[in-house]
């Protein structure tokens, strides 16, 4: 019987454990790619409402924004958030999201 070690091939080495991959997401406002946990997730629920998802696990279509006022303003003004969530935001949603975005600073 011929085995891997008797056939002249080298014995298999154990691989070093691979580093855990960090999920990456793109900010809808400025198109910067960052770790998922560094961005704020907005979700379109199955009922069609737009909500801020602090856990990052809510069911529905999601979009991500920096925690910077500039990104929130740009995403709301340009329609990028509408496009990412595949929904037309109502004026009430825009007002609520604009107010939420105002709590953030413009730090880089």
Domains present along the chain, CATH in parentheses: 24-101 (3.30.1230.10)
Q: What is the pLDDT of residues 48-93, one digit of tens each?
A: 999 999 999 999 999 999 999 999 999 999 999 999 999 999 999 9
Judged against a pLDDT cut of 90, whether residue 102 lies above it is answered with yes
* Mean of pLDDT values over 29-33: 96
Rounded to whole angstroms, how far apart are CA atoms 73 and 23?
25
Average pLDDT, stretch 19-35? 94
- What predicted TM-score, i.e. pTM, was given to this entire model? 0.80
Beta carbons within 8 Å of 105's beta carbon, 6+ residues apart: 68, 69
Q: pLDDT band for 7, please (50, 70, 90 cuts).
A: low
């Amino acid at each position: 019987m011929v085995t891997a070690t008797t056939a002249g091939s080298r014995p298999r080495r154990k691989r070093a454990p691979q580093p855990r991959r960090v999920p990456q997401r793109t900010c809808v406002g400025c198109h910067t790619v960052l770790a998922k946990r560094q961005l704020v997730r907005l979700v379109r629920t199955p009922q069609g409402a737009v909500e801020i998802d602090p856990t990052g696990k809510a069911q529905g279509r999601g979009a991500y924004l920096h925690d910077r006022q500039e990104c929130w303003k740009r995403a709301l003004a340009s329609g990028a958030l509408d496009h990412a969530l595949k929904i037309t935001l109502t004026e009430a949603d825009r007002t609520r999201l604009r107010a939420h975005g105002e709590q953030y600073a413009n730090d880089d």
